[in-house]
Amino acid sequence: MKIYLAQFNPIVGDLEGNAKKIEEISLHAFKRSADLVLTPELSLWGYPPKDLLFNRSLIKKQDKILNKLSNDIANKFGNLSIIIGIAETIDDNFFPNLYNSIALIEKGKWSVIARKNILPTYEVFDEKRYFRSGNKVSILEKNINKRLWKIGITICEDLWVNQNIEGRGIHKRDPLNDFESKELDCLINLSASPFTIGKFKNRLKIANNASNKLKTKMIYLNQIGGNDDLIFDGSSFILDKDGEKIKQLSSCKEDFYCWDMNKQKKIPKKERNISDLESIFDALVLGVKDYAKKCGFKTALIGLSGGIDSALVTVIAAAALGSKNVFSIAMPSKWNSINSQIDAEELSKRLNINFDVISIENLFESFRETLEASINLSIEGVVCENIQSRIRGSLLMALANKNNHLLLSTGNKSELAVGYCTLYGDMNGGLAVIGDLYKTKLFKLCNWIDSELSNNARKIYNLPLNNKIIGDKICNKPPSAELAPNQLDTDFLPPYTQLDIILKGLIEEKKDLIQLQEEGNKYDLISRVIWLIKKSEFKRKQAPPILKLSNQSLGNDWRIPVAIK
């Protein structure tokens, strides 16, 4: 039996386009004499469709598309069978009235063969808003070459049932238990699992756990692509019955593989070890590339200050969109050092991107004169700093509107957490590229980019080879917003090496003040950081989508009220 793994990139809500792509994939599978094509969870919709699932016209449209696709597959590819992820309607008066289901297309018809049992409601997931849980496991039986094949089907979370691996506690029900006596030839998991740092290792563990428990081969097929703030890295794989990896598909790009289950296990080719830093870079490049493409942008705009944050975002944008499609603007004021402008211009030359300079001094003086003359408002302190930032934000938005650029926000997670950012200023943008990357991690990523370890990525993304890209002058510069004379970030914040430990403890590890104090952090500093996080919540509610990298970003999976004690 030959199974064709289709790790492809759907567009959320584009049912017709996704169906067309599945048909194109089926052609390639047919040419390889495949018997069964696998596509990821909700592959007809793209994941996550969110409240598009409430659109009744789309639900009705789905059935028509499935009917047409079934006829086309049968007419063009004969007995080829396709597994496709759909939203199945439940015909009763209760809500929600959908299942997260898997349909089988074969012989000109389609039918539901599996329903998701375990619906996640943590981090970015909110599936109980849309779906009901299935109540039994599913086995697909296929007669191929005079043999009956028994294939167990699970959908994403149905596999995440081991507390020691996934760490969220034991589910009330473990679907894997229902497969134990079925003597499966293979277990399939059709998934839409977003990228987070280190998550691939956990996927491998949970699949290995299932394979060992059921003593069967295992296919883990994952979605690929960026959908808003979520990045799906693919990284699908096949395990033998001992839980050892037979094949792994590519990370962060579409990939397809035809697996002949009849053949004995082959020793896989030695895989290149991808570090966490490289996987972060690949994910961010994919996130920017797909967000721009799926939202109709061909070019990106960045306020390039000469600092490390905007430098990193610029490198990512160049890798994602190509250097000719990246436009950068330096906007100096009298408090910016001339070296910052030089550093920004030199970076733009190394990347061969578009670069311009617009001074904001005259605009700032106009603001100062108007406010002082009209309402006797003295422009000093934070008012002075925020006006500069908002002038820059307005200029960037004007250029973005004029030229249909995607404006990329350059703030990092450390700044966003404590509110060291300006609404309608440096927070302006359509996408927060590094908003889930702490400053200390950001420095490590930039050092990786400038090292020989990034050579493979540079070749893939057509970035400059041999020499450093970001450069020592930017990487070694003390962080500063340069909104006041001789200003440094440490004038307002503790050193990032201290701050990020506390932030990670509070945000991702859910530790309280006492726990952090017991770990050696100062009480006054912890208290101040907690206060800053609370005080700046209103800013995060108005931030652009943040590309998710961690198990707790400050985006859709951060649901803290603004008005709290």
Residues with catalytic annotation?
41, 116, 156
Q: How far apart are CA 463 and CA 447, in angstroms?
A: 15
DSSP state of 433: T
Q: Which residues of 416-442 are buried (b: 16+ CB within 10 A; e: fewer)?
A: bbbbbbbbebbbbbbbbbbbbbbbbbb
382, 383, 358, 350: which is closest to 368 by C-alpha? 383
Which residue shows structure tokens 């530790």? 511
Neighbours of 348 (CB within 10 A): 24
Alpha carbon distances (Å) from 277 to 59, 345, 437:
40, 26, 11
Amino acid at 203: R
Q: How far apart are CA 214 and CA 219, in angstroms?
A: 13
> Strands 98-106, 81-89: parallel, antiparallel or unpaired by DSSP?
antiparallel
Q: How far apart are CA 557 and CA 203, in angstroms?
A: 20
Q: What share of the chain is helix, strand, coil (3-state, %, to 5)?
A: 40, 20, 40
Q: How far apart are CA 524 and CA 529, in angstroms?
A: 9
Q: How far apart are CA 542 and CA 360, in angstroms?
A: 25
Residues 6+ apart with CB under 8 A from 541: 562
Which residue shows structure tokens 């149905």? 158
142: which 2 tokens?
Answer: 């296929």
Neighbours of 174 (CB within 10 A): 17
Q: Please report the beta strands in 22-80, taking only residues with DSSP state E, as ranges in sequence order.
A: 36-38
Under 8 Å between Cβ of 343 and 471: yes
Burial of 538 (0-12, 13-18, 19+ CB in 10 A): exposed
Amino acid at 278: E
Q: Which residues of 271-286 are buried (b: 16+ CB within 10 A; e: fewer)?
A: eeebeebbbbbbbbbb
3-state secondary structure of 549: coil
Q: How far apart are CA 282 and CA 325, in angstroms?
A: 19
3-state secondary structure of 307: coil
496, 519, 480: which is closest to 438 by C-alpha? 496
Neighbours of 452 (CB within 10 A): 10
3-state secondary structure of 364: helix
Amino acid at 214: L
Q: How far apart are CA 284 and CA 20, in angstroms?
A: 27
